Amino acid sequence: MTDNSINQLKVLLGEIYDLNSTLAVLGWDQQTYMPTGGAEERGSAMATISRIMHLKITSEELQKCLSICEAQAAGWPEDSDEARLIKVTRREVDRRIRIPADWVASFAEATAIGQEMWEQAKGTSDFKRFQPFLERIIDLRREYASFFQPYEHIYDPMLDEFEPGLKTADVLKIFAILRKEQVALIKEIASRPQVDASFLRLFYPENVQWDFGVEVVSRMGFDWNKGRQDNSAHPFTTTFGMGDVRITTRLIPDNLASALFSTIHEGGHALYEQGFSPAFFRTPLATGASMAVHESQSRMWENLVGRSKSFWTFYYPRLQSLFPSQLGNVSLDAFYKGINRVEPSLIRTESDEATYNLHIMLRLEMEIALLEGKIEVRDLPEIWRDRMKEYLGVVPADDAHGILQDIHWAGGLIGYFPTYALGNVISAQVWEAVKKDIPDLDDLIAQGKFEVLLSWLRKNIHVHGAKFETQELVQKVTGSPIDPHPYLKYLEAKFKEVYS
Amino acid sequence: MTDNSINQLKVLLGEIYDLNSTLAVLGWDQQTYMPTGGAEERGSAMATISRIMHLKITSEELQKCLSICEAQAAGWPEDSDEARLIKVTRREVDRRIRIPADWVASFAEATAIGQEMWEQAKGTSDFKRFQPFLERIIDLRREYASFFQPYEHIYDPMLDEFEPGLKTADVLKIFAILRKEQVALIKEIASRPQVDASFLRLFYPENVQWDFGVEVVSRMGFDWNKGRQDNSAHPFTTTFGMGDVRITTRLIPDNLASALFSTIHEGGHALYEQGFSPAFFRTPLATGASMAVHESQSRMWENLVGRSKSFWTFYYPRLQSLFPSQLGNVSLDAFYKGINRVEPSLIRTESDEATYNLHIMLRLEMEIALLEGKIEVRDLPEIWRDRMKEYLGVVPADDAHGILQDIHWAGGLIGYFPTYALGNVISAQVWEAVKKDIPDLDDLIAQGKFEVLLSWLRKNIHVHGAKFETQELVQKVTGSPIDPHPYLKYLEAKFKEVYS
C-alpha cells in the first residue's frame, strides 16, 4: 500500500517533470535558433504547456495522492529521499494552488512575446518597443503577489519562487552589510594606481574563443554526452533532464573575457545539473536546491576558480599559444590583474567582483519599487541612468547597455536577481569549507586537476539536488547559515593582492 | 450561440495544435542537436505530450463541442472553412477514439528510443542493435491495426493515418501500373549507352554546398524569417507553426547531388507549409492535405523543377563558378544528363526518377508482410538484400546502405513510404495543370523566376491546407483523380531526351 502511493506519486511527478522539461526545450530553442516568425505560436505553445503543467500540479489526483503519502511518511526518516520528495512536492503544490491557471497561461504568453520583443528592442536599443510588454509582465507579477496576501513584504512571493524559505527582510539585511563594505572597498581601490586590462579588448577570433571555452568546460568535467553548448543573445543553462544539460555562450570578438567567463559560469551551473543523484530521475528532486545555491556553483567556478592565480598558472600558457599576437607580451601576473581589474562598468555580466553586487542591488531596488507602484516602467531608462551614475559613476550611452542589458524581466524573472549576489556570498562560504577538506586545492588547480574539487562538490552539494532548502544546505555544508563575511573577506584579500 | 460553439471548438483545437507543435519541436531537436544522453528523458517527454494530446482529442469536452458544431453546420456551405474544420476534426476524433491512450504513450516512447537506436545502429551498420526496438514498433503497429478491425486490408489503418480516405487496394492498383511501365523503362534505358555522372562524386566542400542550397531555396521563395535550415542524419521538414517551418539537410563531401536535391526537396515541403491561409492559424487545417500531396510539392520542386534543363540553364553558370575545378569542364548538357542518370542504386533518397518508385514498392511489400506476420524483423536485412538484387540488380555491402538507410520505421512511420510514390504521380498531374495555365513556365524557370510557379501553387494548393482530402484536391486541381499516366508520360519523355 505504502509502495503503491509513493509510486503513484512518482508517476504523477514524472509527468510534471516531462512537461517542465518540454518547457525547457521550447525556451532553449526560442533563445537559440527560433526565427522571429515563430514567436507568436511559440508563445501559445509555452502558454498551453505551462497551463497543463499547472493543472497537473494542482490536480485533485496529485493532492489526494500526496496527502496519503504524507500520512504514510510520518514514520519515515526525515532525511530520506522519499520524505524529502513529499516535502518538496507539498511546498510546490501549496504555492501553485494559490495561482489561477489563467494567470499561468497569460504569464507564459506574456513572457514568450516579452523575450522576443526584448531581443528586438535590445538590438535597436529602443526601450519604447519593449515597454508595453514589460508593463504587462510587471502587472502580472503584481497580480501574482496578490495571490499570496497577507505577506510581510510584497517581494516575498517573488523571492520565494527562486529561494524557498528566504524572506526579503533577510536579503535586505545581508545586502546592507555587503553594500557598506563593498562601497568602501571600491573607494579604496579607486585610490590605488589603475590596472591595465586593455589587452582583453583586442581582436580575438570567435572560433578560437569558442574552442578554448570548450576546452575549459571539458576539463572542468562537463559531460558532452549529456549536454551541449550553443550561442544565444544572453548566456544561460537549461536542463531537459539529467542526460541533457545545455549551456549557451555569447562571443564578442573584441572582448576576450565576456565569453570566457560566461562559459565557465554556465559550465558551473551545468556541472551541478549533471551531478544529481540518479535516484532522482524524473522527480522534482532532480533540480538545484535554489537559484542562490545554483549561483554559488556558477560564480564559484567563474570567480574563485576561473579568476584565480592558480587557474591561470595552468591555463595561461595555453591561452597565450592560442592568441600569441594578442597575449604574447602580457605576463601571467599582468593577465591575472587584468581579468580582476576593478572598474565601475555598465554591464553586469562583465562587471568585476567588487562592483557586481551593486548591479544586483540596483535591480532589486527597482523591482521592489515597481511592485510597490512607486515607479513606472516608462521611467526605468532614466532611473537606470541616474542610479548607475549615483552608484557606480557611469552612464550608459544607450538603453541596450543600460536597462535593456538583461533578459530576466522579459522572461518574467522578477525575484531572481538577488540570487546572484546571494550566490556570490554562498560561494565564498563553500570555498572555505572546500579548502578545509582539500588543503592543497590551489596546487591541484594550478596543475589543471579539477576532479578533486568536482568530486567534493558532487558529494556535498550536487548529489542532493533539491532535497534541502538553501539555509539548510548551507548550514550542512559550511556549518553556518548564509553569512556575507567570508565573501567580504575573500574580496578584500583578493583585491589587496591585485591592487598591491 | 453558433459563434460560441465554433469559437470554443477553435480554443480546444488551438490547444491541440500547441501540443502538436511542441511535439514537433521535441522531435526536431532530437534529430538535430540532442546529445545521446538525452534520449531516455526525451522519450518520456514525447510520450507524455503525446498522451496528453491524445486525451485532449478524445476528450468528452471536445466531442460534445464538436457535436454541437456539427448540428449547427448542417446549413453552412460545404466548402466553408468552418464546415471543413469540423469535418477534419471529426475524422481525427473518430480515428483517435479507437486508440487507447496507453498505446499512444508506448508508441511515442518506443519511437523516441527507436530513432536513437536507429542512429547508433546505422552509424555502426549493426542491424542487430536496432532489431529489438524495431520489433517493438512493429508489434505496436500490429496492435494499432487491430483497433480498426474490421478492415479490408491490415495496411488500411496505416495508410489512413497519412492518406485519409485512400485504400491499400487503390495504391496497389496504381503501383501495379507503375511497376510494369517503370521496369520496362529501366530495361530500355539499360540498353542505351551509359551517361557519365562521375563528376558529381568529386570533392565538394560542405560549406559551399550549404551556401548554394541556401541560395536555391531562397530563390524558390523560402521565407527565412519563418524558418531555418539545420543538419540532421536524415533530411526532413517540420512545422512548429505557420511562422516557423524548418528544413534539414545532410552534407556529403563527395556527393554533390545528395544535399542539393534533398535541400530542394525539403524546400518544396516548406513552401507548402509556409503557404497556408492565415485564417487557419492554430487549427488542424494548417497542415498539408496529406503526405502524398506534400510529396507532390517536394518531388515537383526536386525533380520537375530541380532536375529540369530550364532550371540548370539558369543555375549552372552559378554552380560552375562555385566549383570551377570540379565542373569547369562539364557542359550544361553533360551536367543535365548526369543529374538524371538512371542507375539502379542502393539509396532511395539519391536514386533517379526511373528507379525511385521501386524502392518504395519494396518498402511497401515488406511493411505489409511484416504486419501480416509473413516475415520477421530479424530477417529484414537478408530479405532486403535479396529483393534489391531481384528488383534493381544491386546488393548493399552493409545494412547502413540497405535496410537501415531510412529513419521512417524507427519513428514508427509504417504506411508512409507509399506516399512518396503517390507524390511523384500527383506531381506530374499538377505539372500538366500548371503548364496549361502558365505556357511559358520553362522560360520563366530558365530565367530563375519561380514566383509565378509559387503563386500558382499557393493559390491552387497551399492556401487550402488540409481543407480537402487528396482525391478531392487532385480532382479540383487537375480535373482527374490520382492517375499514374501523366507521371509515366513525363518519365518517358524525359529519359528519351537524356538517353537520346
State yes or no: is B266 an active-site residue: yes
Beta bridge partners of A238: A246
Reduced 3-state DSSP string for chain B: CHHHHHHHHHHHHHHHHHHHHHHHHHHHHHHHCCCHHHHHHHHHHHHHHHHHHHHHHCCHHHHHHHHHHHHHHCCCCCCCHHHHHHHHHHHHHHHHCCCCHHHHHHHHHHHHHHHHHHHHHHHCCCHHHHHHHHHHHHHHHHHHHHCCCCCCCCCHHHHHHHCCCCCHHHHHHHHHHHHHHHHHHHHHHHCCCCCCCHHHHCCCCHHHHHHHHHHHHHHHCCCHHHEEEEECCCCCEEEEECCEEEEEECCCCCCHHHHHHHHHHHHHHHHHHCCCCHHHCCCCCCCCCCHHHHHHHHHHHHHHHCCCHHHHHHHHHHHHHHCHHHHCCCCHHHHHHHHCCCCCCCCHHHCCHHHHHHHHHHHHHHHHHHHCCCCCHHHHHHHHHHHHHHHHCCCCCCHHHCHHHCCHHHHCCCCCCHHHHHHHHHHHHHHHHHHHHCCCHHHHHHCCCCHHHHHHHHHHCHHHCCCCCHHHHHHHHHCCCCCCHHHHHHHHHHHHHHCC
Could you report the per-residue pLDDT of B416-475, keeping only the tens digit for each? 999 999 999 999 999 999 999 999 999 999 999 999 999 999 999 999 999 999 999 999
A33 inside 8 A of chain B by CB: yes
Contact A270, A247 (CB under 8 A): yes
CA distance B174 to chain A (A): 39
**Domain-located, residue A40:** yes
Q: Is the pLDDT of residue A1 over 70?
A: no
Residue A391 lies in a domain: no
Give B224's contacts in chain A (Cβ within 8 Å).
35
Query: Both B175 and B136 in a single domain?
Result: no
Please name which of A28, A34, A26 lies closest in space to residue A50, comparing C-alpha atoms: A26
The domain containing residue A6 runs over which residues? Answer: 2-150
A/B interface, count of CB pairs below 8 Å? 129
> What residue of B is the nearest CA neighbor of A48?
B15
Which of A232, A240, A287 to mutate against chain B (most B CBs within 10 Å)? Answer: A240
B203 in A contact zone (CB under 8 Å): no
Which cell numbers hold the place of B6? Answer: 465554433
> Other CB atoms closer than 10 Å to residue B254's CB: what's the count?
10
Region label for A223, one of left (φ > 0), alpha (ψ between -120 and 50) or beta (otherwise): beta
Q: Alpha carbon A481 to chain centroid distance?
A: 20
A295 in a labelled binding site: yes
- Residue A135 sits in the same domain as residue A263: no
Residue B116 pLDDT exceeds 90: no
Q: Does B36 touch chain A (CB under 8 A)?
A: yes
User: Residue A179 and residue B339: Cα distance in Å, rounded?
Assistant: 71
Same domain, B98 and B208: no
Cross-chain CB nearest to B38 (options A15, A18, A241): A241
Residue pointed to by grid coordinates 526525451: B42
Residues B10 and B43 in one domain: yes
Q: Which of A15, A52, A225 sits opposite B36 (nearest CB)?
A: A225
Give the residue from A104, A121, A150 where a domain finishes.
Answer: A150
pLDDT of residue B2: 52
Please give the share of chain B, as a percent, with pLDDT higher than 90.
93
The answer to whether B228 contacts A42, with C-beta atoms less than 8 Å apart, is no
Same domain, A315 and A441: yes
- The answer, yes or no, to whether residue A184 has pLDDT greater than 50, is yes
- Contact of A328 with chain B, judged by CB distance below 8 Å, is answered with no
**A279 and A81 Cβ atoms separated by less than 8 Å:** yes
Instruction: Please tell me which of the candidates A33, A40, A244 has its beta carbon nearest to residue B38.
Output: A244
Check CB contact under 8 Å for A25 and B37.
no
Which one of B244, B247, B273, B274 makes the best mutation probe of the A interface by having the most chain A beta carbons within 10 Å? B244
Q: Which of B403, B308, B270 has its CA nearest to residue B347? A: B403
Task: Determine the average pLDDT of the residues in A319-330.
Answer: 98
Asked if residue B414 lies in contact with residue B291, where contact means CB atoms within 8 angstroms, the answer is no
Pair B159, B171: CB distance under 8 Å: yes
> Is residue A198 situated within a structural domain?
yes
Name every chain B residue with its beta carbon within 8 A of the beta carbon of A240: 38, 41-42, 45
Run of H or E residues at A391: helix A380-392
Contact at CB, B228 and A45, closer than 8 angstroms: no
Among B92, B118, B150, the domain-final residue is: B150
Rg (chain A; Cα; Å): 22
Per-residue CA distances from A438 to A311, A450, A453, A456, A460 (Å): 16, 12, 8, 9, 13
Residue B124 lies in a domain: yes
Give the other-Cβ count within 10 Å of B402's Cβ: 22
Q: Nearest 5°: CA angle at B283, between B282 and B287?
A: 100
Chain A residue whose CA is closest to B25 = A26
Same domain for B224 and B356, yes or no, is: yes
**B158 part of a folded domain:** no
pLDDT of residue A228: 98
Using CB atoms within 10 Å of the CB of residue A250, give its burial: 0 to 12 exposed, 13 to 18 middle, 19+ buried.
middle
Q: Minimal Cα–Cα distance from B273 to chain A, Å? A: 13
Q: Is the Cβ–Cβ distance between A412 and A111 less than 8 Å?
A: yes
Query: Are A200 and A112 within one domain?
Result: no
Residue of B nearest to A47 (CA): B18
User: Are residues B238 and B368 located together in one domain of the fold?
Assistant: yes
pLDDT at B3 over 80: no
State which of B116, B150, B184 marks the end of a domain.
B150
- Within 8 A of A16 by CB-CB distance, chain B residues are none
Indicate yes or no: CB of A40 within 8 angstroms of CB of B241: yes
Judged by a CB distance cut-off of 8 A, whether residue B8 touches chain A is: no
Q: pLDDT tens-digit profile of B75-111? A: 899 999 999 999 999 999 999 999 998 899 899 889 9
Cα dihedral B38→B44→B49→B53 (10° resolution):
140
Band the pLDDT of A2: cuts 50, 70, 90.
low
Q: How do strand A244-249 and strand B244-249 relate by DSSP bridges?
A: unpaired
The model's confidence at residue B1, banded by pLDDT at 50, 70 and 90, is very low
Q: Do A37 and B240 touch (CB under 8 A)?
A: no
What's the whole-number average pLDDT of chain A?
96
In a mutational test of the A interface, the residue from B51, B52, B231 whose CB has the highest number of chain A CBs within 10 Å is B52
Examine residue A398 and state whether it is found in any structural domain, yes or no.
Answer: no
Cβ-Cβ contacts under 8 Å, A42 against chain B: 240-241, 244
d(CA B285, CA B262): 26
Q: Do B25 and A21 touch (CB under 8 A)?
A: no
User: Does residue A396 belong to any structural domain of this protein?
Assistant: no
List the one residue out of B348, B344, B384 whose CA is nearest residue B367.
Answer: B384
Residues 6+ apart with CB under 8 A from A255: A200, A201, A204, A350
B15 near A CB under 8 A: yes
Please indicate whether, in this complex, the C-beta atoms of A45 and B33 are within 8 angstroms of each other.
no
Residues of chain A with C-beta less than 8 angstroms from the C-beta of B15 = 48
* Cβ–Cβ gap A38/B282 under 8 Å: no
Q: Is B49 on the interface with A (CB under 8 A)?
A: yes
Distance of alpha carbon B176 from alpha carbon B195, whole angstroms: 28
Is pLDDT above 70 for A99? yes
B265 labelled ligand-binding: yes
User: Percent of chain A, pLDDT > 70?
Assistant: 99
A14–B44: do the CB atoms touch at under 8 Å?
Answer: yes
Interface test with A, best of B240, B273, B282, B283 (most A CBs within 10 A): B240
- The answer to whether B59 faces chain A, any CB pair under 8 Å, is no
Per the prediction, chain B carries an average pLDDT of: 96
Residue contact A26–B29, C-beta within 8 A: no
Q: Are residues B477 and B339 in the same domain?
A: yes
Contact B38 A282 (CB under 8 A): no
Instruction: Please count the other Cβ atoms lying within 10 Å of the Cβ belonging to residue A487.
Output: 30
To test the contact with chain A by mutation, choose from B13, B17, B41, B246 the residue with the greatest count of A C-beta atoms within 10 A, namely B41
Say whether the peptide bond before residue A481 is cis (omega within 30 degrees of 0).
Answer: no
Question: Chain B contacts of A242, Cβ < 8 Å?
Answer: 37, 41
The reply to whether omega before A150 is within 30° of 0 (cis) is yes
User: Does B152 appear as a known binding residue?
Assistant: no
Residue B323 belongs to some domain of the structure: yes
- The values of phi and psi at residue B229, to 5°, are -130, 140
| Beta bridge partners of residue A241, listed in sequence order | A244
Put simply, the chain B residues between 236 and 275 with a CB less than 8 A from any chain A CB are: 240-244
Chain A residues touching residue B286 (CB < 8 angstroms):
none
Catalytic residue among B109, B266, B302, B367: B266
Is residue B445 domain-shared with residue B369, that is, in the same domain? Answer: yes
Environment class of B455 (CB within 10 Å of its CB; exposed 0-12, middle 13-18, buried 19+): middle
- Picking from B264, B272, B271, the residue whose alpha carbon sits closest to that of residue B216 is B264
CB B304 within 8 A of CB B296: no
Of B49, B255, B109, the residue nearest A19 (C-alpha): B49
A137 and A201 share one domain? no
Contacts of A52 in chain B (CB under 8 A): 52
CA distance B8 to A380: 40
Q: Would the CB atoms of A35 and B230 count as touching at under 8 Å?
A: no
Decide: helix, strand or coil at residue A19: helix
Q: How far apart are CA A497 and CA A339, in angstroms?
A: 13
Whole-number pLDDT of residue A129: 97
Residue A243: which of B41, B223, B282 has the nearest Cβ?
B41
Instruction: For residue range A373-422, list pLDDT tens digits in order.
Output: 999 999 999 999 999 998 888 999 999 999 999 999 999 999 999 999 99
Average pLDDT score over residue span A453-470: 98
Q: Tell me the CATH number at B182.
A: 1.10.1370.30
Cα separation, B170 vs B498, in Å, equals 32
| Pairwise CB contact (< 8 Å): A18 & B48 | yes
Question: In chain A, how many domains are there?
Answer: 2
Identify whether residues A254 and A135 lie together within a single domain: no
